Amino acid sequence: MTTFVLVPGGWKGAWVYDGVAPLLERAGHTVHALTLSGLGADDDRATAAINLDTHVDDVLRVFDRDGLTDVTLVGHSYGGMVITVAADRARGRVSRLVYLDAFVPRDGESWWSETNEFFRELISAGAADTGNTVQPTLGGDPRRRPHPLATFFQRVRLTGEVDRVARREFVYCAGWEDRTPFAAQRARLAADPGWLVHDLPTGHDAMGEDPEAVAAILLAEGENPLGRAVIQSTAPSPHRALA
């Protein structure tokens, strides 16, 4: 039995995994889908004080509370920043990292430094009203919440422990190539024998578009010695949701 901890991307909560979590549980696994600080529907914490470290602490608190070990830690989009630092600080309790179309930062990098100009403009416009949070884009799921601005700017500080995680995987969503900030990252990781890279033809929110394909990746056992795999999907036209 595997223990999965699922971390959402920006503006979103545990609900983004509603299509995936039951598939994992049906296969006999334990699933913890998280909503990070400041992003819950009834969360009234001061978002100006929330940064990346706050969200990392959210993850590690679940590890400590439930005594989790041998964890498969999954992050979508911005959630890649969170799971990277959490794994670095988890004292060997993470056995697998899965980045679902997510940022894979190196020491000293931030979400802001690694994203593209499209997203920098989106963040700047979304933060103009308060300077503390970034409003979600118009349209999309009404459950999205304003996202704490500081989380996008804080640089990660890594000790190198994250590189000791035995299994590291990146899922590249190819259905929004006009906007994705992950093309160069995909190329870098695909050339690294320590990584397994999967390609999905969905838009950015693969968990909603094709939860079966995402669950299949998460349930796969073993590693591909070539360091890459292609997962085919019959997903609908890609969404333009951003995180």
Catalytic-role residue among 37, 77, 113, 233: 77
Decide if 77 is catalytic: yes
133-134 and 147-148: which strand pairing? antiparallel
Q: Is the Cβ–Cβ distance between 109 and 116 less than 8 Å?
A: no
Taking every pair of Cα atoms in the chain, the longest distance, rounded to a whole number of angstroms, is 49
* 3-38 exposure pattern, b = at least 16 Cβ within 10 A, e = fewer: bbbbbbbbbbbbbbbebbbebbeeeebebbbbbbbb
Residue showing tokens 């695909």: 190
Q: Is the Cβ–Cβ distance between 182 and 110 less than 8 Å?
A: no
Q: Catalytic site residues?
A: 77
